[in-house]
Chains A and B, each alone.
Chain A
Amino acid sequence: QQQVKQSPQSLIVQKGGISIINCAYENTAFDYFPWYQQFPGKGPALLIAIRPDVSEKKEGRFTISFNKSAKQFSLHIMDSQPGDSATYFCAATSGGTSYGKLTFGQGTILTVHP
């Protein structure tokens, strides 16, 4: 019940295209859903996050879509650039004392070809 399932494992997109990564969760106590970007040799860095009281959040080229009833959320990267090539992790956590206990998805390796 604590799992977060992420797909696809890898994704190849042409420059300028849209990258879409999907995640699904089971634990209805989760109420914060961040996406992290990780470059080789670096730690995960927060990209964008959403709470379940909104269905969409946009920051620049990055958009999270959230479907509470389906317990699914996705990351859309518009106008994908070669510099976006990285591993992307969705994550989820609940509030209270468990806030820092992020449950991560398996990760998606994104490659954007020039």
Chain B
Amino acid sequence: EPEVTQTPSHQVTQMGQEVILRCVPISNHLYFYWYRQILGQKVEFLVSFYNNEISEKSEIFDDQFSVERPDGSNFTLKIRSTKLEDSAMYFCASSPQGSVGNTIYFGEGSWLTVV
């Protein structure tokens, strides 16, 4: 079964450093998403992306966050100046279309630890 792949699986970074998390969505999918899950808490929506632009973003997705689709296969989340509270599991997801009934597939996540 096709899957969303994410790299790295785990990254430790110093506070204030920039981090880029990478994702390869399922190949024929058009909609891409980032979610995060702080340890012990629920999964939270960050941003959705379609046709090379942000469709929707949450209050969490402030100016320190950005997303990009630099080529035909990768989808990245950049955190410009990491904070301790950015420590979380970050999930990339994708769906074939952006309409009800289209399954949203999640990757296995990238665990970010900010020290």
Interface: B75 (CB within 8 A):
no
Known pairs A45-B105, A49-B103, A98-B56; list 15 more (Cβ under 8 Å).
A36-B106, A43-B107, A44-B106, A45-B106, A46-B104, A46-B105, A91-B43, A93-B100, A100-B45, A100-B98, A100-B104, A101-B48, A101-B56, A102-B43, A102-B45
Query: Which positions 91-115 of chain B face chain A at CB distance < 8 Å?
Result: 91, 93, 95, 98-109
Instruction: With a 10 A CB-CB cut-off, give which of A42, A46, A89, A104 has the most chain B CB atoms.
Output: A104
Give the nearest-CB partner of B107 in chain A.
Answer: A43
Q: How close is B58's CB to chain A, nearest CB, in angstroms?
A: 7
Q: A97-B55, A100-B56 are in contact. Are A44 and B91 (CB under 8 A)?
A: yes
**Residue-by-residue, is B80-91 near A (CB-CB < 8 Å gives 1, otherwise 0)?**
000000000001
Cβ of A97 to closest chain B Cβ, rounded Å:
5
B40 to chain A, nearest CB (A): 9
Query: How distant is the Cα of A44 from the Cα of B45 in the complex, in angstroms?
Result: 13
On whether A104 and B42 interact (CB within 8 A), knowing A43-B91, A95-B99, the answer reads: yes
- Is the pair A101, B99 in contact by a Cβ cutoff of 8 Å? no
Interface size on A, residues (CB 8 A): 27
- Does A99 contact B45, Cβ atoms closer than 8 Å? no
Can you list 10 A-B contacts with CB-CB less than 8 angstroms, sorted by A residue number? A44-B91, A51-B101, A91-B43, A95-B99, A100-B45, A100-B55, A100-B95, A100-B104, A105-B42, A106-B41
Known interface pairs A43-B4, A43-B91, A44-B91; A104-B103 also in contact (CB < 8 Å): no
Task: Output the least CB separation between A32 and chain B (Å).
Answer: 5
Chain B window 42-74, contacts with chain A (Cβ cutoff 8 Å), 1 for yes, 0 for no: 111100100000011010000000000000000
Tell me, in angstroms, the Cα distance from A97 to B93 when the chains sit together.
16
CA–CA, A99 and B105, complex, Å = 13
- Cα separation A105 to B37 with both chains bound (whole Å): 12
